[in-house]
Amino acid sequence: MTRKLYVGNLPYSIHEDQLRELFAQAGEVETVNIITDRDTGRSKGFGFVEMATEDGAKEAINRFNGHSVDNRSLTVNEARPREERPSGGGGRRFDDRRGGPRGGGDRGRY
């Protein structure tokens, strides 16, 4: 059974292959995913590592939580399930010109 780990406080310069190599010291690594900003492509400083076994995941947490990489102390723990976000943007639509509390429109001046 695979275990997904959250890895926080990553150096912005680290690449997925480097993170895979580091975590392979604790056991077999299934996947590595560093989260990036969709506009700039720059790392957001955290990611996820999926270990092949529960023992490997425990070893990775014990070994790398607090471990220093490029003078940054890593945070490693079991990832929480992703929360569902509501779809849609909320807020006002661009074509909604009826005014409102801040908008203009008729305020009973006539």
Q: Look at residue 84 and tell me if it is in a domain.
A: no
Residue 90 sits at the vertex; the CA angle it makes with 80 and 33, to the nearest 5 degrees, is: 30
Domain residues for 49? 3-78
Residue 3 has a pLDDT of 94
Q: Look at residue 38 and tell me if it is in a domain.
A: yes
Q: Look at residue 32 and tell me if it is in a domain.
A: yes
Quote the CA–CA distance of 106 and 68 in Å, as a whole number: 62
Q: Look at residue 11 and tell me if it is in a domain.
A: yes
User: Measured in whole angstroms, how far is the alpha carbon of residue 46 from the centre of its chain?
Assistant: 6
Q: Look at residue 109 and tell me if it is in a domain.
A: no
Between 89 and 34, whose confidence is greater?
34
9: left (phi over 0), alpha (psi -120 to 50) or beta: left
CATH number of domain containing 63:
3.30.70.330
Please write the tens of the pLDDT for every residue from 2-31.
699 999 999 999 999 999 999 999 999 999
Please write the tens of the pLDDT for every residue from 54-103.
999 999 999 999 999 999 999 999 999 888 878 766 555 555 555 555 55
Q: Look at residue 65 and tell me if it is in a domain.
A: yes
Number of folded domains that form the chain: 1
Residue 7 has a pLDDT of 98
